C-alpha cells in the first residue's frame, strides 16, 4: 500500500506566480489535512478536507490560498501571487475512518513539497 504522495517535491516560483501543490492520500483514505512548516518551526494546521468538501479552513490565510479535494484525483493546495513569505514546506496528511472513537484516527504524512519563492 503506497503511502501519501505529494508532488512536486520541490517547487521554485517567482514572486507573483501561482503555486499548485498536489497530494494523493493513501488508498482508502478520504480525509486530507494540509500543514505548513516555516523554517525552524513546527507544523501549523491549514485546512481539513473530505471528498468534495472543505470542513475546516481556519488555518488558511484569508487571501491567495485555496484548497480542494475533488471526487476524483488528488487534493490541490493553490497559492496565487506567491510572496517570499510563502516559502515553506507544505505537508499533506491523510486519515482513514478506523474503528473506535473518531479522534483516534491517525494522520499519515507525505514527504512534503518545499516551496521556494524567489
Partner 1 sequence: AQSVTQPDIHITVSEGASLELRCNYSYGATPYLFWYVQSPGQGLQLLLKYFSGDTLVQGIKGFEAEFKRSQSSFNLRKPSVHWSDAAEYFCAVGMFSGGYNKLIFGAGTRLAVHP
Task: State the residues that interact with partner 1 by CB under 8 A.
Answer: 4, 6, 31, 33, 35, 40-45, 48, 55-56, 59, 91, 93, 95, 101-112
Pick between residue 79 and residue 92 the one whose CB is nearest to partner 1.
92
| Dihedral sign (CA 39, 80, 47, 12) | negative
Q: What is the nearest approach in angstroms of partner 1 to the Cβ of residue 7?
A: 13
Q: What is the nearest approach in angstroms of partner 1 to the Cβ of residue 115?
A: 14
Pick between residue 14 and residue 106 the one whose CB is nearest to partner 1.
106
Going by C-alpha positions, the residue among 11, 55, 10, 9 that lies closest to residue 32 is: 55
User: CA-CA distance, 58 to 44, in Å (whole number)?
Assistant: 11
Q: What is the nearest approach in angstroms of partner 1 to the Cβ of residue 81?
A: 27
- Confirm if 70 and 78 have CB atoms less than 8 A apart: no
Amino acid at each position: 500500500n503506497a503511502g501519501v504522495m505529494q508532488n512536486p517535491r520541490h517547487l521554485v516560483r517567482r514572486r507573483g506566480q501561482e503555486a499548485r501543490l498536489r497530494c494523493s492520500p493513501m488508498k482508502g483514505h478520504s480525509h486530507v489535512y494540509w500543514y505548513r512548516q516555516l523554517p525552524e518551526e513546527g507544523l501549523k494546521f491549514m485546512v481539513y478536507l473530505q471528498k468534495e468538501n472543505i470542513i475546516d479552513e481556519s488555518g488558511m490565510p484569508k487571501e491567495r490560498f485555496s484548497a480542494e479535494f475533488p471526487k476524483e484525483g488528488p487534493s490541490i493546495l493553490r497559492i496565487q501571487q506567491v510572496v517570499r513569505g510563502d516559502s515553506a514546506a507544505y505537508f499533506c496528511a491523510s486519515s482513514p475512518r478506523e474503528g473506535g472513537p473518531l479522534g483516534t484516527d491517525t494522520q499519515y504524512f507525505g514527504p512534503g513539497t518545499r516551496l521556494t519563492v524567489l
